[in-house]
Each structure stands twice: as C-alpha cells, then as structure tokens.
C-alpha cells in the first residue's frame, strides 16, 4: 500500500541518480530527498521495458508535478476522484508554468492544452500501473477509461467481422484539441540557418540533421567510430558501400539516446562530408576534445571537450531562430528531410529504413503539401474546366 500523505506539504521533483553499477537513472524525490517509492518503481519499469532515457526523464517530471499538485491541493495521489483530476487538468492551463530562466524579468508562460493532455496522460499511466501492483484501487483505474465508438477508422484498420473492434477504451480526462500538424523548414530556410551558423560544428549539426533525417538524440549520440565517410569502409571491418553513418542505440554520457531500437546505416553525400571535415579542423584546435569519442563536443565553453548535451543543442537553435526570424527546432530538420524524400518519389520502404520508423505509415504525418503543390493543383483543375467550356 502507498504511504500516508506527509504532514507537511512537500514539493516533489525529478532527480538524476547514479546506480551502484554506474548506470544513470531518474527518480522522484521530495524536498528532503526522500524517494517516492511508487514513482521510482514505475520509472524502473520504464527502463526495464527499454524506454528511452529522455522518456524516463520526461515522465519523472510529469509524475513529480502530479504528486506536487496532490500535496498542495489535499488530494490523496493514490485515490483521486474524477473531479479532482479534471481540476488538475484545468489548473495546468490556467496557472503559469515555472519560468525557463531564473533571471529577473523572465517571461511568464502558460501550458497549452496539448501539454496538459500529455501530463495527464502520464499521470493516468502511472495510476494504472500502480493499480496493477495493488497500490491504487481498481475503481480509480476504471474511471480513467471509457468505451468510445470509432465512426471513422484509419486505412488498414481491422474493424472485425461484426465491427467489434470499432469500440475502444479512450481516456476520460483529456482536452479536445486540434491536430497541430508537423513543422518543417524549406530548403531556403535551412540555407539561412547554415549561413547564420558561426561555427563549423553548428553548421555540421544542421547539415547532418537535414541530410539524414536523424533525430537530435541520434545525432548527439554519434561516435567518431560511427562515421564511415570513405568510399570503401572494408578496412574498418564494415561491408556497407559508399560513405555512410551508423546509428546505434546506446546510453551515452550526455544522455543522448536513439529512439529506434534497431541499428541502421544512413548514406551521406559530399556536402555532409565536407561539413564534417570543416568541423574536424575546428575541433582539432581544442586540445581537450582529442580524447572524446563523441562526434559533437563542447568547443567554445566549459567543460571543453565534453559531449554536447540536449540543452546545448536547444540553446543553439534558439539563437539561430532569433537571428533568422523564424521558428527553428532540430526535429523540424528531420521533418524536412523525410518530406523531401517523399516528394522526390523515394520508395516508402527506403524512407522507413533511413528514418528509423517501425511502421511505414509513420511517414504520412511528415509528408507536407507546399503552397506550390496546392497552387498547381488548383491551376490544373481550372485549366481542365476552361478546356471543357471552350
């Protein structure tokens, strides 16, 4: 059973910890660094299921937020009512979120409904898992889901002989939000970012993301041994032809992690190789970077030579976006690469292998229709109509 609520309210927070075997993990602690045992057990279950390191980090923060809300509002975290969970969902969007910076004058920000849905979804998953362990009453778990009939189903969905699969269990606590779509960058915008990059390392990061459709975690997790950029790599013990990069799922010192479980090989072209060579010349000028096997390292601020982390990449793209005057995030370059491959008529199976998607259908949301596409479609229809009238 779960422990009783503390007499004095404590705020919970996620903490990075190091296990006895040296592995890095995430836990949830209170202000006295006391572990929340149920939350820590849930996070350990995520690790056991092979979830990405950053997924564990994200879930730890969301669960800590849920537990803190419960303490601050007098809710027993293991026995919340539907009304109490709905109140938290409203609170998430109505109350300001903590500022990203501690500097005076930091901009007040609010969570949107999509973010609130993600937090409540994690809280619901945590409660459901605790229910399977006997720590949360079955009635709580039951109220988190309700039957929903699917009037429309995606292509390939098996509705069953009598349509029985059209009824699924859906979350009861969730905002209705519009599908936001996926953001991407045009070739011209990518060119602007490359022109604004002040260092060869930063230009190579932009280039490799835009050319290979890698996720940012996969790029930051690259080792120098993964860069097989010679025309023939047989001397390296590799049988793949032509210049290429290996993407391998590992737990790295900088927390970078490949979401795809299967290793894959991505071919690269001359522009990417040239950008890498320029970066190597820049890197060679920093003696501290010589012994680090990671591709992307700190060259311009301490700790020099250490692997580049997610926060460093985030700050870099924030600076680039501010100078460029448009939104730019690492994942937008992945969207752009997949979109360009699809528009060029590349086979779906090939795109799936390059992108590291489990299912080819995952590509559908990355395929963007441009204004030119829409203009040409309208003009073709108009031309056909004019021809019929003449």
- What tokens were used for 285? 């000028």
User: Which of 182-186, 328-332, 345-349 has the highest mean predicted lDDT (pLDDT)?
Assistant: 328-332
Bridge partner list, 28: 14
What percent of the chain is predicted at pLDDT more than 90? Answer: 59
Instruction: Judge contact between 174 and 148, C-beta under 8 A.
Output: no
Bridge partner list, 26: 16
96 or 54, which is more confident? Answer: 96
Bridge partner list, 35: 29
Give yes or no for residue 2 having a pLDDT over 70: no
Instruction: Judge contact between 292 and 307, C-beta under 8 A.
Output: yes
Confidence of residue 180 (pLDDT cuts 50, 70, 90): low
The angle at the Cα of 228, spanning 222 to 234, to the nearest 5 degrees, equals 140
pLDDT value at position 177? 75
Give yes or no for residue 363 having a pLDDT over 70: no
Average pLDDT over residues 217-246: 93
H or E element: which one contains 350?
A: helix 348-355
pLDDT value at position 154? 67
> Which domains are present in the chain?
13-171 (no CATH), 187-366 (1.10.443.10)
Give yes or no for residue 280 having a pLDDT over 50: yes
106 or 208, which is more confident? Answer: 208
Task: Write down the mean pLDDT value for the chain.
Answer: 88
Categorise residue 120: left if φ over 0, alpha if ψ from -120 to 50, beta otherwise: alpha
Average pLDDT over residues 172-182: 77
The phi and psi torsions of 45 (rounded to 5 degrees) equal -65, -35
Q: Tell me: the pLDDT tens digits for 27-51?
A: 999 999 999 999 999 999 998 887 8
H or E element: which one contains 26?
A: strand 24-29
Average pLDDT over residues 382-388: 83
Instruction: Judge contact between 208 and 200, C-beta under 8 A.
Output: no
Least confident range from 161-170, 190-199, 206-215, 257-266: namely 161-170
The phi and psi torsions of 203 (rounded to 5 degrees) equal -65, -40
Bridge partner list, 25: 17
The phi and psi torsions of 359 (rounded to 5 degrees) equal -125, 140
274 or 154, which is more confident? Answer: 274
Categorise residue 148: left if φ over 0, alpha if ψ from -120 to 50, beta otherwise: beta
The total of other beta-carbon atoms located within 10 Å of residue 36's CB is: 21
Instruction: Judge contact between 52 and 259, C-beta under 8 A.
Output: yes
Instruction: Judge contact between 80 and 70, C-beta under 8 A.
Output: yes
Helices and strands counted in the chain (H then E): 13, 9
Give yes or no for residue 4 having a pLDDT over 50: no
Give yes or no for residue 224 having a pLDDT over 60: yes
pLDDT value at position 151? 78
Average pLDDT over residues 56-70: 95
């Amino acid at each position: 059973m779960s422990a009783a609520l503390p007499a004095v309210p404590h705020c919970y927070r996620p903490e990075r910890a190091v296990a006895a075997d040296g592995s890095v993990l995430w836990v949830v602690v209170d202000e006295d660094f006391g572990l929340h045992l149920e939350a820590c057990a849930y996070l350990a279950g995520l690790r056991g299921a092979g979830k990405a390191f950053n997924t564990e980090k994200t879930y730890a923060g969301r669960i800590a937020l849920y537990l803190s809300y419960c303490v601050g509002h007098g809710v027993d975290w293991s026995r919340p009512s539907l009304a109490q969970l709905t109140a938290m969902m409203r609170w998430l969007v109505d109350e300001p979120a903590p500022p990203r910076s501690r500097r005076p004058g930091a901009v007040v920000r609010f969570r949107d409904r999509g973010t609130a849905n993600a937090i409540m979804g994690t809280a619901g998953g945590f409660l459901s898992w605790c229910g399977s362990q006997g720590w949360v009453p079955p009635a709580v778990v039951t109220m988190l889901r309700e039957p929903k009939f699917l009037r429309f189903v995606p292509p390939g969905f098996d509705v069953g002989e009598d349509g029985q699969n059209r009824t699924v269990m859906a979350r009861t606590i969730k905002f209705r939000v519009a599908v936001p779509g996926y953001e991407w960058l045009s070739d011209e915008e990518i060119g602007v970012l490359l022109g604004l990059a002040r260092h060869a390392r930063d230009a190579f990061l932009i280039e490799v993301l835009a050319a290979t459709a890698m996720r940012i975690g996969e790029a930051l997790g690259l080792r120098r041994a993964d860069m097989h950029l010679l025309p023939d790599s047989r001397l390296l013990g590799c049988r793949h032809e032509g210049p290429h990069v290996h993407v391998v799922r590992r737990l790295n010192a900088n927390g970078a992690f490949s979401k795809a479980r299967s290793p894959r090989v991505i071919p690269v072209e001359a522009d990417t190789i040239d950008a890498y060579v320029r970066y190597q010349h820049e890197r060679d000028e920093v003696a501290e970077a010589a012994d680090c096997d990671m591709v992307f390292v700190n060259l311009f601020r301490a700790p020099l030579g250490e692997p580049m982390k997610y926060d460093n990449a985030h700050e870099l793209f924030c600076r680039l976006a501010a100078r460029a005057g448009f939104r730019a995030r690492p994942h937008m370059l992945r969207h752009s690469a997949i979109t360009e491959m699809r528009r060029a008529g590349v086979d779906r199976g090939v795109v799936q292998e390059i992108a590291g998607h489990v299912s080819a259908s995952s590509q559908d949301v990355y395929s963007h229709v441009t204004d030119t596409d829409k203009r040409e479609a309208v003009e073709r229809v108009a031309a056909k109509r004019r021809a019929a009238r003449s």
